[in-house]
Amino acid sequence: MIQFDLERLTLNDYRQMRNHYQVNASLTLLTFMMHQIDWRVECEDKRIADELTYQLEDVWTRLIRGVSQAYWAGYSPMVVEYENNVRRRRVEVDKIKDLIPEDSRVHWKEVEGYAPPGRMRSKHYLFDGIDQVGENHPIPVENSLWYPLLMENGNYYGRKVLKPSFPAYFFSILLHLFANRYFERFGEPLPIGRAPFDDEVEIAGEVMNGREAMEQVLMALRNRSVVVLPSDREQTTKEYEYQLEYLESQMRGADFERYMNRLDEEISLGMFTPVLLFRTADVGSYNLGVNHMQVWMWMLNALAGDLKEYLERYLLNRLKAINFSPNAPRAYWNYRKMGKEHVETIRAVVTELMRDGSIGVKDLEQLGQYIGLDLKEIQQVTEGDEPQRDERVGRPERPGAVRPRTERGRSITAARGVVDEIVERIDKQFKKAQRSGALTAKEFSPSLGYRRKFEEALIQDGVDSKYAHEQTEYIYAMVELWMKDTLGVPEAWKSSDFAAALKAVLIGELDGIKV
């Protein structure tokens, strides 16, 4: 009878709680930490992992912004919009829109369950999209991303993290109102004056009784004037006949502060936010604060593990099935466990490996972002090993044109196999045009073909997927320009000579790729 019925709280109540300073601090910190968690996409097929990483990085901020609604509402309804990227020949996630939780409900699909022969089949309900207020049709399943926080017993509306903190939040609001009224009332205490009513006193040439004289004295005191009282004493008690006192409270402001701090602690603990994340300990122990932080990091790891299932099943593997194949290897979203011990252990291992020369730094740009400096690799060039640059006027600029000296001679076997197929294809077209007499730069427009296969071969040889696409577009543009210039004098070419020259050009362009 004396407890709150927390089951009667609505989403509007939880939305109002977000305006409380302590609730806002805990929620915002939780969202920021989840946003900067380190993660990676893993798959047996490196192409799939690179593609999904590229797409997820592009929408990560909007995704976490939408997921963070579940931390106060219990669930987060989101809409996933796709677009066809013609240039990359991929279906990409264009936007992730977070819907208002109060206006979104699960759209259920009714199916029949199993029953023994002669028994009536039971009804079961499956998730079938999102019903939104004001819309006549539900949002389809393939465009829905519904994240329930710590779902229990199949409840798609999750757990409300703010629910245990509501009593402390309620009394915190009331206490702040009462404390302000108290400070206003007793910040300037009420003066109390005592005087003999029957005495007559002359003040400024005017004769008045003691009560009126004391009223003037009290008004002068409130107006910050000088107060002078008679020094007469009673004969029996030996106390002054005229006295001034203040009506003060026995409670001090520190009592209110202690109670409000206690309510703030209850709100933080209700949201599983350790107390020492926002303040110092009474005993001044650094290790105690570190332990509080460590426990909170473990909680964040648990929340990331809860999110993992939904990202893999309803986003990553859905994209994998669209862009590659439903039967392709499964993709996994893995995150780095947060915590002080993990960071120190990894730092010690990496430091020893770098000192031993077993490993080195590959991505200087990413390292520079971590330490706040702009790092640039210094190229050491020796005689006979000049960096290869494309200086030809009117030609496309090669992406990453300077190739590191240490990687010269790296084998690109799969792409060389595709080069042989391209040369064979062009040779057939060349012979056909030669027989028909259409071998001129205007009439003969050979098609290289195998563009997608060439790009996939570069990825198979170890080239990053995005870089492989840029290199493919560059090489094809260069070869097409070369053929256009070369066919200006077609009578000077024989079929075998043209095929050999084309192969030499393609191999030369391959040698300039940074693996």
Phi and psi torsions of 435, nearest 5°? -70, -35
Q: Which two tokens stand for residue 452?
A: 């997608």
Decide if pLDDT at 245 tops 50.
Answer: yes
Residue 37's H or E segment, with its range, is none
* Amino acid identity, position 131: D
**pLDDT the model gives residue 320:** 92
Stretch 13-20: mean pLDDT: 91
430 vs 388, higher pLDDT: 430
Burial 382-392 (b: 16+ CB within 10 A, else e): eeeeeeeeeee
Beta-carbon count within 10 A of 378 CB = 4
Least confident of 123-127, 361-365, 392-396, 481-485: 392-396
**pLDDT the model gives residue 450:** 83
Q: Is pTM beyond 0.75 here? A: no
| Exposed/middle/buried for residue 10 (C-beta within 10 Å: 0-12, 13-18, 19+) | exposed
Asked if 515 and 443 touch (Cβ cutoff 8 Å), the reply is: no
- Best CA proximity match to 325, nearest among 51, 57, 39, 127: 51
pLDDT category, 382, cuts 50, 70, 90? very low
Q: What is the SS3 assignment for 95-155?
A: EEEECCHHHEEEEEEEEECCCCCCCCCCEEEEEEEEEECCCCCCECHHHEEEEECCCCCCC
Provide, rounded to the nearest whole percent, the portion of the chain with pLDDT above 90: 19
Stretch 119-128: mean pLDDT: 88
In angstroms, the Cα distances linking 475 to 310, 359, 419, 484, 493 are 40, 32, 11, 14, 22
Asked if 125 and 114 touch (Cβ cutoff 8 Å), the reply is: no
**pLDDT the model gives residue 157:** 92
**pLDDT the model gives residue 319:** 92
Stretch 445-473: mean pLDDT: 80
pLDDT category, 396, cuts 50, 70, 90? low
**pLDDT the model gives residue 82:** 93
Question: Across the chain, what does the average pLDDT equal?
Answer: 79
**pLDDT the model gives residue 8:** 87
Least confident of 34-43, 302-311, 386-395: 386-395
pLDDT category, 1, cuts 50, 70, 90? very low
Least confident of 36-40, 136-140, 274-278: 274-278
Stretch 367-376: mean pLDDT: 61
Residue 503's H or E segment, with its range, is helix 495-511
Residue ranges of domains in the chain: 190-247, 405-511
* Amino acid identity, position 127: F
Decide if pLDDT at 147 tops 90.
Answer: yes
pLDDT category, 295, cuts 50, 70, 90? confident
* Amino acid identity, position 60: W
Distance CA 512, CA 515 (A): 9
Q: Which two tokens stand for residue 379?
A: 């190229």
36 DSSP 8-state letter: T
